Amino acid sequence: MKRVPAVFLMVGLVVAALLSPVGVGSVAAAPRVMIQVPVYSHAMNRTIINNVLPAPGGSAPVFYLLHGAGGGSDRIGWEWNSSYRKFFENKNVTVVSPVGGAGSFYTNWRHGDPKLGLNKWQTYLTRELPAAINRQFNGNGRNAVAGVSMSGGPALDLAAHAPRLYRAAASYSGCPPQATVGAPGVIGTVLAQGGNPGNMWAPGDYIAHDPTLNAARLRGKAIYISAGDVGPELAIRACSEIAAAALRAQGVRVTYDAVRGDHSWAAFEAGLERSWRVIGPAVGA
C-alpha cells in the first residue's frame, strides 16, 4: 500500500475517533411497522437478523441502510436514534438494515477474527440477503445501498463490486477513500472494536475497496455524499469532499451536501433525507 501523506494521516486519525457508535438522539413516533427477518448466511455460517420496513404495497425497490461501527448490535442505529420510519411512511420502498458486523466495514475478511468472528458481509449484502428479501417482499430489482459513519465508504464499495445490483449508493458522514485519507480510520475503527485489521485486508485490498480508486465501476450510478459542518466532524467533511471531487473527476455523477451538525444523528438523518432526491428517482421510489 502506498505511503499516506502526513495531512491524510492527521485527518484519518480524527476520522478513526469519529467512526464509532453515537447514541445521542430521540426516536419519534413510528407509524410504519418494523419487522425482524432472520436470514441464514452460508458464507458466515450463522443467521443474521434484519430489521425491515416493508413497502406499503406491491412490488417495490429495496433500500439497504447500513449501521455504523457497532453494527446495530449495540442498539445504536437508524431504528433507535432516528425518525426514519416516519420519513419512509409514504414512500413505496422496502428498507432493510442488517444487525451485526461491528467493525467489519461490511466486507469479506480474509481470515476469521478471534473477537469479531467470521465476516463475509460483501457476499451477504450482494448475494444472500438480496435474494431472500426479493423472495419475501417482492423486490422489483431496483436497489440502493447507504451507510453511516463506518459504513459510508463500504456502501459505495458494495455498489462498485455489485454494479448490476445497486443503482444508487450514499455515504452519510463516512470516509470513502479507504486506501488514502481514510486508511488510518479503517484501521483505528477495527482496533476500537477489538478486531485485527490484518484479518480483514491485506495491503492491496485497501486499494481494491477504495471507491475513489475504482470509480469506473460507479459510473452511471447515482452517488450521494454528505457530512456535517461542526467541530471534529469537519475532518469527515474534508474526507467526504476529497471523495466527491475524486469521483467527479473520473466521470461519476455525485451529489454532495454539507449538512448542519456534528458527528451525530441530527447530521446523519439530515443526510438521509436530503439524499432521497438522488436515491428515490434512481430506484423509482
At residue 17, the pLDDT reads 56
Q: What is the pLDDT along the chain (285 residues), one digit of tens a residue?
A: 444 444 344 444 445 555 654 544 433 334 578 999 999 999 999 999 999 999 988 899 999 999 999 999 999 999 999 999 999 999 999 999 999 999 999 999 999 999 999 999 999 999 999 999 999 999 999 999 999 999 999 999 999 999 999 999 999 999 999 999 999 999 999 999 999 999 999 999 999 999 999 999 999 999 999 999 998 899 999 999 999 999 999 999 999 999 999 999 999 999 999 999 999 999 999
At residue 58, the pLDDT reads 84
Classify residue 177: in a domain, yes or no. Answer: yes
pTM value surpassing 0.85: yes
Classify residue 1: in a domain, yes or no. Answer: no
Kindly state the helix (H) or strand (E) to which residue 237 belongs, with its residue range: helix 233-249
Classify residue 161: in a domain, yes or no. Answer: yes
Classify residue 193: in a domain, yes or no. Answer: yes
Count of helix runs (H) and strand runs (E) in the chain: 11, 8
At residue 1, the pLDDT reads 41
CA separation for the pair 223, 247 (Å, rounded): 9
- CA distances (Å), origin 284, targets 53, 97, 109, 144, 279: 17, 20, 33, 11, 8
At residue 6, the pLDDT reads 40
At residue 175, the pLDDT reads 97
At residue 18, the pLDDT reads 57
Q: Are 225 and 244 in contact (CB under 8 A)?
A: yes
Count the domains in the chain. 1
Classify residue 141: in a domain, yes or no. Answer: yes
Classify residue 12: in a domain, yes or no. Answer: yes
Which domain, by its residues, includes 40? 6-283
CATH code, domain with 64 = 3.40.50.1820
